[in-house]
Every structure is written in C-alpha cells, then in structure tokens.
Amino acid sequence: MTTLTLTHAKFSTLELFRIPIAVVGSAFWPAASMLAFVVPFAGDDPVASTFATVSMITFAVMNTNLFQYGIGVSEDRAQPWDPYVRTLPAGATPRFLGRILTGLLMMVFSLAPVVLIAALFTEATVSPAAFVGAIAVCALISVPFILMGLSIGYSLPQKAALVVAQILFLPLAFGGGLLTPPGGAPGFIETLAPFLPTGGAARLMWWVTVDGFPFDLKATLALLGWTVLFGIVAVWAYRRDEGRRFG
C-alpha cells in the first residue's frame, strides 16, 4: 500500500515537473502578492509583517490546493488515461495519498519564495523552533484544502470545477480574515472567521509563529471538523465518479 502511494506520487510529480512552467506559475503568484501587498505596507513592522506573511502563506496553501486539485483532478478525469487507471487493482487510497504527497511537494515550491521574500525584505521574524513548527503546521493545514480540492475535482466536470474554485477562494480568503490584519476585519468576519477552514488554518499558523498569539481550541476543532467533512465528501465523490461518460 505504501509503495503504491509512493508510485502514484512519483508518477504525478514527474508529470508535473516535466512541464516546468506549471511549477513556476504556482510559485509566481504568492511571491508576487508578497512583493505587491506585504512588503510595501507592513514590511517595517515585525509583528504586522509576520502576521501578514503567515496570512499570505495560508492564502497560498488554500489557493494552490483548491486549484491544483479542484481543477487538476477534474481535468484528469476527462483524460482517457483515467478510466484505465481505474481498471488497475488499487482502490482510492494510494491515489489519494499519492496526490497529497505531490501537492505537499508543489507547495514547497510555491511557498519557498514567500518565505525568502519575508526574510529578505521585511522585518518578519520567527525563532528557529517556530520556523520548524510552522513547516509542520503548514503541512497539516494543507490537508483540509487538498481534500476540499479533491471533493470539487471528483464531483464536478471541468468547467464547473473552475467556476466553483473561483467562487470559493475569495470569500474563503476574506471570510477567514487572511486579507486583513487580525482584529482589523469587519465585525461579522471576526465572528465568522474562526469557524471557516481558512480562519482556523490561519489561527494555527499565527499561534506557532507569532509570540503571544493564543491557541484557539474552537477554531482548531472546527478545522478538524472541516477536514473530516471534506474527507468524507472526497471519498464519496471518488467512489461515485465514473469518469466522463463518453469514450
């Protein structure tokens, strides 16, 4: 089972990296947002720029996974290779886990520039321990967004998946408080944010990286709930999916 997971991960990673522009593309957007929004506005204030950098990382995690899986899986399902892979003697698990490993690797490539820019051009600081913690938490919070992307990718056709991902990502970012400093969002968002997957994820990230930011149990439990929910939806969607019906 584990070897098969690695095989699936290797296979999709190879496929991804043979088209380097896709990797460059996903690294470009978070880096550009850092340079355009964080460096000029919050770069001089250590706390504000740490907050903002972490928000940007969370935003990139959500964005990358939502699009990579939501749209990527949906596109794959339209390819004639997909029905073939389904005839191989493996269930959903190795494919799922393989995709998740690939997604994590992809995120390293899209997040590394953000971290570099934060270190070089802003006053953002973290202790070495917090940095390691942030990497671990970053991997954890990507799980619900990967599963969310998979749910979309497996339940919707290509064009619908694109629209749904585009409709979801901005409210999720804004509603989760990623585009505003903590405490600086409109009141209803402050109330709502901890219970959205983005808000829960950002709070976990802030907790590891920003000194004195409290651990938010309610938000973490909500995030856990979302993870279980998206997991169930993703597996259900994969099982009922029969690929595209022609061919």
Partner 1 sequence: MIHARAEGATKRYGSKLALDGVGLEVRRGELVGLLGPNGAGKSTLVTLLTGGRRPTAGRVELCGGDPRDPRNRRTLGVTPQETGLPASLRVGEVIDFVRSHFPDPLSRAELLDRFGLSDLVQRQTGGLSGGQKRRLAVALAFAGRPEIVFLDEPTTGLDVEARRDLWEAVRMFHAEGGTVVLTSHYLEEIEALAERVVVLADGRVLADDSVAAVRGLIKVSRVSITSPVQPTDFDLDGLVSFEQAGDRLHLLTPDADRMVRELIARDVPFRDLEVRPTSLEEAFLALTGSLTGKDL
- Interacting residue ranges for partner 1, rule: CB under 8 A: 3-4, 7, 11, 14-15, 18-19, 79-84, 86-91, 242-243, 245, 247
- What is the per-residue DSSP string for 185-211? S-HHHHHHGGGSHHHHHHHHHHHHHST
CB of 71 to partner 1, least distance (A): 17
Distance of CA 41 to the CA centre of its chain: 25
Nearest alpha carbon to residue 103 among 44, 143, 56, 76:
143
Q: For residues 40 and 83, which CB has a smaller minimum distance to partner 1 in the complex?
A: 83
Q: For residues 22 and 229, which CB has a smaller minimum distance to partner 1 in the complex?
A: 22
Radius of gyration of the chain (CA): 18
CB of 19 to partner 1, least distance (A): 6
Q: Two tokens at 100?
A: 């998740």
Q: For residues 10 and 218, which CB has a smaller minimum distance to partner 1 in the complex?
A: 10
Q: Give CA–CA dist 117/222, Å, rounded.
A: 31
Q: For residues 92 and 130, which CB has a smaller minimum distance to partner 1 in the complex?
A: 92
CB of 93 to partner 1, least distance (A): 10
Cα 203–Cα 64–Cα 6 angle in degrees, nearest 5: 105
Cα atoms in the 13 Å half-sphere on the side-chain side of 220: 11
Q: For residues 80 and 128, which CB has a smaller minimum distance to partner 1 in the complex?
A: 80
Q: For residues 92 and 189, which CB has a smaller minimum distance to partner 1 in the complex?
A: 92
CB of 9 to partner 1, least distance (A): 11
Note whether 142 and 61 are within 8 A (CB). Answer: yes
246 vs 70, 77, 79, 83, 143, CA distance in Å?
21, 12, 11, 11, 32
CB of 66 to partner 1, least distance (A): 24
CB of 239 to partner 1, least distance (A): 9
